Amino acid sequence: MKRVQLDKDIQPLSEFRANAASMIEKIKKESRVLYLQDSMLKNKGCLVVNCLSPLIC
pLDDT in tens, 4-54: 888 888 888 889 889 989 988 888 888 888 888 877 666 666 677 776 555
pLDDT of residue 19: 92
Q: Which CATH fold would you assign to the domain 6-50? A: YefM-like fold (3.40.1620)
- Domain limits, the chain: 6-50
Give the alpha-carbon dihedral of 15, 41, 7, 53, to 10 degrees. Answer: -70
CB–CB of 38/11 below 8 Å?
A: no
pLDDT of residue 54: 55
- What's the pTM value of the predicted model, to 2 decimals? 0.66
